[in-house]
Amino acid sequence: MKEAGFPLGVLLLFGVAYITDYSIILLIKGGNLSSTNTYQELVRKTYGLVGYLILSTLQFLYPFIAMISYNIITGDTLTKVFQRIPGVGPDNVLTDRHFIILLTTIIFTLPISLYRDIAKLGKVRVVYFSVLQAVGVMSFAFICNHNSFLIYGSLEEPTLKNWSQVTHISVSLAAVISVVFAACGYMTFTGYTEGDIFENYCRDDNLATFGRFCYGVTVILTFPLECFVTREVIANVFFHGNLSTVFHIVVTVVIIAVATGVSLVYDCLGIVLELNGVLSATPLVFIIPTACYLRLSKERWNHSDNLISCLILAVGVLVMTVGFVLTILHPQECSHGKEMFYCFPTINEMFVNVNISHVSLLSFSFYKFYNLLTCIY
């Protein structure tokens, strides 16, 4: 929302939701046309080994970059939680994001990620041109294509009609929730909105501290799911789907070590989400489903499905290429964990006696207007 602006951001969210909805249904149509029941089989039958390897690369990158983002979130959130503990000062080791990331990796994420069976994780898991960059982040938020065949097969009556109904309801609900959260977050912090919204809240905010704690625990326990997917891709491509105990441990440790190393060096969540969006989510949502359908379709070239697929494919290629270049050339600004300027009381703020993270939009507007008049004076 910050990248695209408020009115256009809302339109883009609904636009990306529509494309996601359409591509998910198109994916199942492609599966029916090719008599396949997995994303990998569909691409392999349509574009051969090259297509399969490209899809495998994307399916590796998506969860791998997500793992990096989870570590960044852990470092951002839990350090501020520990700072609220009496006696823990700014120089305490518990406020060092590098220490927290390493600690949670060694104690939690690595041991849990060593499980072979993903079902066992259920016992542990508790809880402008910049418009193109915004579309990448939105694609990351809506992506679920890689799970579509699995969910389609779980329906009592796996028909295209039932699948379409499920998809419409699910994506519509996700779109409404996304718009509400994005709008509230952007209207509260406007141009100061961070990639990690918790970075916008002051350290002495008790509600935000509780939210950080819950969010930190959630991402720690979600991390192994992404590790499982990346390991599975490596096993399928290089080891024919079977890993010995030794290779299972080695591959897991290497994946987590590289992801942790990157997250220790880089701490800006916004650019990580943008890169994952334009490099992984956009091809998986925009490009591959439409390209497969266009190759399999027996309809005339001017059929609505073919025309819409061509349009979505072109948009996907544009977002992926231009979005990637812009993300590298014009990365999002990042607070690097520093307290936002409005968290430090000024004479004006003490006079108005407001808290930026809790005021209504109207109150916040009057507050900014008051500061503007003061500056002019």
pLDDT digits (tens, 9 = 90+) for 57-94: 988 888 898 899 899 989 988 998 998 888 888 889 99
pLDDT at 330: 78
Torsion of CA 375, 333, 273, 261, to 10 degrees: -140
Within-domain flag for 351? no
- From first CA to last CA, the distance across the chain in angstroms is 33
Q: What is the percent of the chain where pLDDT is above 90?
A: 36
pLDDT at 132: 64
Contact status, residue 325 vs residue 136, Cβ threshold 8 Å = no
Within-domain flag for 217? yes
306: containing domain: 6-340
pLDDT at 344: 81
Contact status, residue 52 vs residue 237, Cβ threshold 8 Å = no
Cα distances from 353 to residues 291, 356, 373, in angstroms, run 57, 10, 17
- Answer whether residue 374 shows pLDDT above 60: no
Q: Kindly state the average pLDDT of the residues 186-195.
A: 85
pLDDT tens digits, 97-113: 999 999 999 999 999 89
Within-domain flag for 241? yes
By C-alpha distance, which of 81, 5, 69 is closest to 263?
A: 69
Within-domain flag for 53? yes
pLDDT at 120: 59
CA distance 227 to 204: 34
- Answer whether residue 293 shows pLDDT above 90: yes
Q: Kindly state the average pLDDT of the residues 1-29.
A: 89
CA distance 120 to 116: 8
pLDDT at 118: 58
CA distance 367 to 354: 8
Q: Kindly state the average pLDDT of the residues 20-39.
A: 91
Backbone angles phi, psi at 262, to 5 degrees: -65, -45
**C-alpha Rg value of the chain to the nearest Å:** 23
pLDDT at 24: 92
Task: Give just the sign of the alpha carbon dihedral 275, 4, 8, 197.
Answer: positive
CA distance 325 to 275: 10
Within-domain flag for 359? no
Contact status, residue 125 vs residue 221, Cβ threshold 8 Å = yes
pLDDT at 30: 93
Q: What is the percent of the chain where pLDDT is above 70?
A: 84
For the entire predicted model, the pTM comes to 0.72
- Long-range contacts of residues 200-204, Cβ cutoff 8 Å, at least 24 apart: 200/340, 200/357, 201/357, 202/339, 202/340, 202/342, 202/343, 202/355, 202/356, 202/357, 203/80, 203/83, 203/84, 203/339, 203/343, 204/84, 204/343
Cα distances from 166 to residues 154, 159, 351, in angstroms, run 12, 11, 53
The band of 121, judged by pLDDT with boundaries at 50, 70 and 90, is low
Interaxial angle between packed helices 130-142 and 304-329, expressed in degrees from 0 to 180 and rounded to the nearest 10: 120
Higher pLDDT, 165 or 353: 165
Q: Kindly state the average pLDDT of the residues 146-164.
A: 85
Q: Which amino acid is at 51?
A: G
Within-domain flag for 347? no
Interaxial angle between packed helices 245-265 and 97-104, expressed in degrees from 0 to 180 and rounded to the nearest 10: 170
Within-domain flag for 23? yes
Q: Kindly state the average pLDDT of the residues 201-213.
A: 90
- Answer whether residue 353 shows pLDDT above 60: no
The band of 373, judged by pLDDT with boundaries at 50, 70 and 90, is very low
Contact status, residue 46 vs residue 202, Cβ threshold 8 Å = no
Within-domain flag for 360? no
pLDDT tens digits, 252-265: 999 999 999 999 98
By C-alpha distance, which of 314, 226, 333, 206 is closest to 269?
A: 333
- Answer whether residue 47 shows pLDDT above 70: yes
Query: Can you read off the two tokens belonging to residue 188?
Result: 């509260």
Number of separate domains in the chain: 1
- Answer whether residue 131 shows pLDDT above 70: no
Query: In sequence order, what E strands does the chain have?
Result: none
pLDDT averaged over the chain? Answer: 82
